[in-house]
Amino acid sequence: MNVLTLNAGSSSLKAGVYHVLNDELITLGKAELTGIGTTHVRCRIKGTLIHSHDIQSSDFKSDSDSVTINTLYQPFIDDLFEQFNLQESKLIVSHRVVHGGTVFSSAVAVDRRVLKSLTDLIHLAPLHQPYNLKLIEEMMKRYPQTLNIACFDTMFHSTQSELHTSFALPKMYREKGIRRYGFHGLSYAYLSETLRLKQRTKERTVALHLGAGSSACAMIGGQSIATSMGFSAVEGIPMGTRTGQLDPGVILHLLRNGMTPDQIEHLIYKESGWLGLSGISSDMITLLASSDPQAGFTVDYYCEHIAQEISRLTTTIEGLDRLIFTAGIGEHSPVIRQKVVDHLNWLGATLDADANEQQSQCISDEDSRILINVQPTDEEAMLAQYAKTFVR
């Protein structure tokens, strides 16, 4: 049995190909389609088949002004089927879907009824959910013999108690699903599995998934207790173009002064965050390299708000034994890690400067009261693991 994992976003599509042998997952290859929505789209396929056959990379290009998802998904996936000799009848396709709402707290086989339920949740994750579901539809249409399963970013957080998922709203609204959900669950689940956090039943951990989308998750014994993101993926830490925490009174003010809900949605999801603060870029690498004072201000704002979330979550789990940095910025930016930890010296967290610069797995120094790790995440591997478990 083979597993194809698909993780669709607004500008990229990541894929992994795995073989299940004696209940073990063997990675056959990884692929990524980037630049969706631009005039130059690139596909990178890297992998080694069982017989050590190297997969060659290929390009997807367009002469049009913009490239739509519809014109790219099909040739990209067809290329994967050809390169890895995938057969419909022996294939499980494991999809990342951002929002499962209150209905889906575990992986589920997708049929038309499930697809309709997930479509109703698009307004909760407008940057991601439409692309996730469009890809599932394409796969069901193009390869009808495959089993498509959906794995949700929200499902890792299903262990949270009502105390940590509730808003201070009347019960009738909470019963309608207006509550905290939490996201980046595939990433946090991978960290929990890889670092065997569940075996450390009393260990108090805060994991930081830091990238253009950023969040923090508090765990005890590898289980989610609380998180920075809430009802939608816009809350919490400021992100590439998303506001993060925002007083709801600002939304009311904008509505009363003539902005429409669609305009406000565009503002808080696509014009704010690092882009809005700096007026320069939504790319942290660009901001870190810039001498513009607003770029520096944005970096400092980002790091202080990360530290504030860590402090809040530390209160929730009544202490902190381990801090984990992961995802693009968390794994690759010594500057961001240093700035964040500097805000936590009062907690007894201190870095080993050399280990931090060298991207070592352990970057805390010998005097630190908190273990600090840099740990790569792999959402594709977690999707494959969920698929294997689902079938078993």
Cα distance between residue 45 and residue 16, in whole Å: 9
Distance from C-alpha of 191 to C-alpha of 1, rounded to nearest angstrom: 25
Which of these is catalytic: 23, 54, 63, 153? Answer: 153
381, 16 contact by CB (below 8 A): yes
CA–CA distance, 41 with 60 (Å, rounded to integer): 5
Cα 105 from Cα 154, distance rounded (Å): 7
Compute the distance between CA of residue 172 and CA of residue 177 in angstroms, rounded to an integer. Answer: 9
Gap between the Cα atoms of 226 and 157, Å rounded: 8
Q: Is 153 a catalytic residue?
A: yes
Angle value at C-alpha 194, between 193 and 198, nearest 5 degrees:
40
What residue type is assigned to position 313 of the chain? L
- Residue 177 near residue 124 (C-beta atoms within 8 A): no
Is 132 within 8 Å of 122 (Cβ atoms)? no
Which ranges in 92-156 belong to alpha helices (H)?
Answer: 112-119, 129-142
Q: E strands along 48-146, which residues?
A: 58-61, 91-97, 108-109
Counting every residue written for the chain, the total comes to 392
Instruction: Give catalytic residues, as residue numbers.
Output: 153
